[in-house]
Amino acid sequence: MTRAATFLGLMLLCPCPWFALAVGGLLPLPVIVAYGTAGGVMLAISLIHLVVYTWIFHKIAWSIGSFVRHRHISQTFAAAVVAAIFVAIGFAPIYGSGENLAAGNKLKHTAWDVYRSTFPSLRHFSNQYSPSVFTPLSPVLKSVASRTA
């Protein structure tokens, strides 16, 4: 139970460094995978991220599950703690995309902002008239995606 909760939380909410031509941002894995719909090079980059991060998240979840089991910690308690940590991460403004992330000026979005902007079908859960605060692809990556499609 703890392993599954940890793995699911990591897959949905972990701010993963996204590497393309440069570090393109800190994004949840489903958003990185969604960039693969552009096809071509973006599809290859997205699939590489999916494989690598899935393997990393599996190892982390296995380690946490082993720790909980060997320390005889309640599975329910551990799963609740893991879920609380991921909810806190999801509400933290630590996601974003764009070039020059070292300055930190683009990392101002919550997981909900990123998901809502990347997957327009989620917008009906929020205010239809609020502008999008997140542009999924930077101008450099948009040009690469359009050339490879």
- Stretch 2-13: mean pLDDT, rounded? 90
97 φ/ψ angles, rounded to the nearest 5 degrees: -140, 165
Residues 3 and 105: their CA atoms lie apart, in Å, by 34
| CB distance 50 to 126 below 8 Å | no
Report the chain's C-alpha Rg in angstroms.
17
Residue 14, amino acid: C
- Stretch 123-149: mean pLDDT, rounded? 47
Residue with tokens 């096809």: 39
User: Structurally, how many domains does the chain consist of?
Assistant: 1
pLDDT digits (tens, 9 = 90+) for 48-103: 999 999 999 999 999 999 999 999 999 889 989 998 999 999 899 888 876 656 56
**Residue 98 tokens, joined:** 């764009």
- Domain residues for 34? 2-148
Does the pLDDT of residue 104 top 60, yes or no?
no
- Stretch 118-143: mean pLDDT, rounded? 53
More confident residue, 20 or 38: 38
The pTM of the full predicted model, rounded to 2 decimals, is 0.75
